[in-house]
Amino acid sequence: MLQSDETHFGFKKVPIAEKARRVAGVFHSVADRYDVMNDLMSLGSHRLMKRFAVELTCARPGDNVMDLAGGTGDLAKRLTPLVGPSGQVVLCDINESMLTIGRQRLHDKGIVSNVSFVQGDAEDLPFPDNHFNAVAMAFGLRNVTNKDKALSSILRVLKSGGRIVILEFSRPVNPGIKQAYDAFSNLWPKVGELITGDRDSYQYLVESIKMHPQQEELAEIMTDAGFSSVKFHNLLNGVVAIHLGIKDR
């Protein structure tokens, strides 16, 4: 049973104030190999999933959108041509190392005119009310300490009619696929150790996936936070899910 001042860091119980520091340490450690490990862990499929998530933002020319917990900028890279020169993409991440990698990679691709970079906490976003047409978040929500607070913060910065798109690991629907996926994901810490020399960070990532709310539970959390028309799409039988929500007013 969690105490009121405790939260989960993977399977461990830690003081709430300590989780952010531990998560930061994980992503400082894996930042320069993050995309390589994503390719290995998803067998390359994360790129297709992110493309689908970007399409679901319905971003249009002139829109102001955010890639939240954007890390190495995969969503931002796909969003910038959609909003065009009259729009703006904000790549926001709490982790300085990940944000630096994202900035470098986008600049290396010549993406500079309609993208900005902000170090910020999802639970207390440093943006005005009613600012964004869409907020997209890929594989970041499970690392947030207080998901309710983060969702409320996202709702605040969205414009009326704006949408949230959350791409995150979830639970396979088919028991056989779940068993196979669990066996596969249990290999990630060893692979992470071989490639990055860091087993512990990938052990946390595996555990954080298993502790993340299942599809229906997350949909309920989003509804309770104030989003309407909440729904989700299962990908790969629910190994990953995309949740959508709208800000009514």
Q: pLDDT of 191-231, one tens digit each?
A: 878 877 778 888 888 888 888 999 999 999 999 999 999 99
Least Cα distance to 242 among 38, 57, 41, 42 occurs for 57
pLDDT tens per residue, range 126-168: 999 999 999 999 999 998 989 999 999 999 999 999 999 999 9
- Looking at residue 4, its pLDDT comes to 58
Residues in the chain, total: 249
- Residue 168 and residue 68: Cα distance in Å, rounded? 13
Domains of the chain by start residue, with CATH: 6-246 (3.40.50.150)
Alpha carbon separation from 28 to 71, 76, 101, 122 (Å, rounded): 11, 20, 11, 17
Assess whether pLDDT exceeds 60 at residue 1.
Answer: no
- Considering the entire predicted model, what is its pTM? 0.90
CA-CA-CA-CA torsion sign (145, 213, 53, 86):
negative
Burial class (CB in 10 A: 0-12, 13-18, 19+), 115: buried
